[in-house]
Amino acid sequence: MLRTPQLLPPRVRPADIPRQILIRPKEFQKELLDELRYHQAQVIYSTDETHWLQEDRFEPAWADCVWRDVKGLEFDSITDAQKKLRAISPRWRYFGDLFHRRGALIAEGVVSKKKQQPFRFPSLPPSASDPVFTLADEHWILYSQSVSRPTMNGLIPFEENKDVPPSRAYLKLWEALTILGEWPQPGERVVDLGSSPGSWSWALAELNARVVSLDRTELSPKVMRSTNIEFRRGDAFSFQPTPMDWVFSDVICYPEKLFDYVHSWLESGHCQKFVCNIKLRGESDPVLIERFQTLPQSRVLHTLHGKHELTWIHHPRLQQQKFVK
């Protein structure tokens, strides 16, 4: 049962400190709540912008961002708070959810004044590795040194290319790769399934990867001119597993079909790096999402540049999540 903001104790105690803080999505709050209920996640407190979880055994796919391994820090004054924060890290990011005025005064001594600006892919925001903090009450700070996305609220602004790509769909790919913290390197061989009109193929070609782009319909003329793209006409899932550095898919299909297809790739051993969008039909299905999440070395997330869909990422650097109810 989710609690209302009024149920937060007047004075936070160590027992009230959450293990995870979820940044709530603006458009998909129902989907997140359904996912939390399915996993029987213990939400100990909710604000207008966050949910506080009692455990950190899994990363909810629909959260805009997850602060992991949250810790509490008690302080007496603004100066004391700044001193204790600097003892942990010289630089911080501040999330002004509760007690914003007091938190902003603390932030003046530990947070860079630079406003977040759109940045150029491929890169990471300059502050991506800085820990984050917020206030639970006037004398308790909640902080995390392990944030699931490069920005503390999940929003990743990019410098967009409005001339060549035929749609803004490439922003979903940029976002997923930025969250992963890795992207195809020059000369790597990648396949883009269901690629037309070609935004993802364009983005991959810009990285100087060798792109096999597969669809029944040709790519836009500007994208087709790229010397890094080999276009093949055909059904996306007719492409059989073969040695590749990456597999990408933004194809519209039933999630079950995508699952069976990528599972055949994993069994083949021909590729270890995947970024595939899961196109959902109607309401979100936590059972279906969990099938993708429990694949080895996998992560499922909602990109803020995407719509009612999720992104499955598989990569050797990812750890297996545990879903113990």
Evaluate if residue 280 carries a pLDDT over 60.
yes
The residue written with tokens 């309401």 in the block is 283
Q: Which pLDDT band, with edges at 50, 70 and 90, does 7 fall under?
A: low
* Range 26-43 average pLDDT: 93
Phi/psi for 231 (5° steps) reads -85, 135
- C-alpha pair distances (Å), 290 with each of 239, 272, 302, 304: 26, 20, 14, 20
Report the DSSP beta bridge partners of residue 93.
Answer: 132
Contact between residue 170 and residue 200 where contact means Cβ atoms under 8 Å apart = yes
User: pLDDT tens-digit profile of 176-204?
Assistant: 999 999 999 999 999 999 999 999 999 99
User: pLDDT tens-digit profile of 233-243?
Assistant: 999 999 999 99
Positive or negative, the Cα torsion across 261, 265, 267, 272? Answer: negative
Query: CATH second-level architecture of 170-314?
Result: 3-Layer(aba) Sandwich (3.40)
Q: pTM surpassing 0.85?
A: yes
The two tokens of residue 56 are: 């950190």
Q: Which pLDDT band, with edges at 50, 70 and 90, does 131 fall under?
A: very high
Average pLDDT, the chain: 91
User: pLDDT tens-digit profile of 46-71?
Assistant: 999 999 998 888 899 999 999 999 99
Cα distance between residue 242 and residue 244, in whole Å: 6
DSSP 101-150: HHHHHHHTTTB--PPP--BPSSS--TTTTS-EEEEEETTEEEEESEESSS
